[in-house]
Structure 1
Amino acid sequence: MGNTSNNAIPPLQSWQLAAKRLLAAAYSPRYLLATNCATAGSLFVLADCAAQRIETLAGGSSAIRAHDWRRSGRLGLIGLIGAVPAHYWYLTLDRRLPGRTPGTMLAKILLDQAVFGVCFNLAFFTALPLMEGRSWRDSLYYCRDKFPTALAVEACVWPAAQAVNFYWLPTRLRLFFVTGLAAVWDVFLSWYSHRSPPVEE
């Protein structure tokens, strides 16, 4: 009887244990896709919130303008849907190119930039105007205008980040690492994608 109270788990330790179990379940193979989608979608929304605030301050206004939640929702949806191909992309890369030799890492980085980076940016800058109600023609013109600059900036940022990702992290944490860094990148994407959107005359 007296030993029962001594063996009780302290409240803080019990909370930490529950958190560890939750994280272990979230990043298990069974729930990893759902976790990646929820994480990416949430970070896109947060990034757009930051981008809208930056746009307000950059415009010289100290007053907080009404937040465009539809815009944040559209970007969140893109992040959520985009996490699905990204999830399977990293699984495929690690399956086809196992190991951490310099040659393997270089191949993964080049493939990530040349295949996934190009495809994601094309899809992003085409889908966003369509979700805003524009025509296919306007969307293609918008993508043609925005895509080259976004891809060039991405090529200056992501190869180094992916080198860290591919060398140190296990497969199940690849997308978590990427979406964490993407929280900053998404601020740029949100700001750039809504900066003077071109319209074909």
Structure 2
Amino acid sequence: MASFYKWYNMRLASHPLLTQCASTSILFGVGDATAQYISPDPKLKGNYDYVRTFRMCFHGGVIFAPMVSQWYKLINNKISIPGRPFAEALVRMTADQTIWAPFGIASFYVSMGVLQGHSWDNIKDELRSKYYTTMVGNYMVWPAVQIVNFRFMPLEYRLLFVNVVSIAWNTFLSWFSATPAAEGLQAIEHAENRLEEVEHAAGEKITKSLK
């Protein structure tokens, strides 16, 4: 780990944008590979979709990383509250989640649609059917992550930190973007219902044990 950290720092010092783009591309690909591995879709069993992974790698390295690296520099320079690090992190997170997050998620679906050769009408339908649910998922995960990121991580490591956390998030994005809207929503509903059942059963066990 120490040798990787040293190597990464050297690459970051000599080629910062290229290093960030390459690492982002790889970790987006890891997210898609994970999504395909755990997918219940029978079409993916023993038939890995390399083109789909390439699309995720391309979006991460060519579109996402350059924009986010500049965005982090912007809010780092424009939002500063000396002597109040938590307040500073909170304001930066608020800016990130109200300005970047809505745009970033929309750009993901547009990018995936363009790379798949979809028409603009199809891309708009995809946005209409999936954008809201994706934003809800985003706000369940990213505000807390970004508070930690902006509070404790140096500027040059913020994108890498986000990319590592994003492995799970990109797994969801890759799966949800590749799944028809109705099926995706049904799967999410099923997961929520199953979670409620588990919580209810656990609650009953706890209640019985306290009697």
Aligned partner of 1:169 among 153, 160, 168: 153
Deviations 1:61-120 (A, max 9, x none): 6x9421010011011100112100101111111111235533222211111111111111
- Quick check: 2:25–2:58 contact (8 Å CA) kept in 1? yes
Q: Match of 1:91?
A: 73
Deviations 1:115-153 (A, max 9, x none): 111111011111212211110111111112111111111
- Alignment gaps of 5+ in structure 2: 183-211
Q: Match of 1:120?
A: 104
Rounded to whole Å, the distance in 1 between the matches of 2:5 and 2:24 is 21
Q: 1:185/1:197 Cα in 2 relative to 1: closer, same or farther (>3 Å)?
A: same
Q: 1:103/1:20 Cα in 2 relative to 1: closer, same or farther (>3 Å)?
A: closer
RMSD over aligned Cα, in angstroms? 2.0
Normalising by the residue count of structure 1, what TM-score does the alignment of the two structures yield?
Answer: 0.82
- Alignment gaps of 5+ in structure 1: 1-15
Matches within 5 A, 1:72-151: 72-81=53-62, 82-98=64-80, 99=82, 101-151=85-135
- Quick check: 1:127–1:139 contact (8 Å CA) kept in 2? no
Aligned partner of 2:34 among 50, 68, 73: 50
Q: Which has the higher helix share?
A: 2
Query: What is the aligned residue count?
Result: 178
Rounded to whole Å, the distance in 1 between the matches of 2:169 and 2:162 is 10
Q: Match of 1:65?
A: 46
User: Percent same amino acid among aligned pairs?
Assistant: 27
Normalising by the residue count of structure 2, what TM-score does the alignment of the two structures yield?
Answer: 0.78
Regions of 4+ moved over 6 Å:
none
Q: 1:186/1:20 Cα in 2 relative to 1: closer, same or farther (>3 Å)?
A: closer
Q: 1:64/1:77 Cα in 2 relative to 1: closer, same or farther (>3 Å)?
A: same
Q: 1:20/1:150 Cα in 2 relative to 1: closer, same or farther (>3 Å)?
A: closer
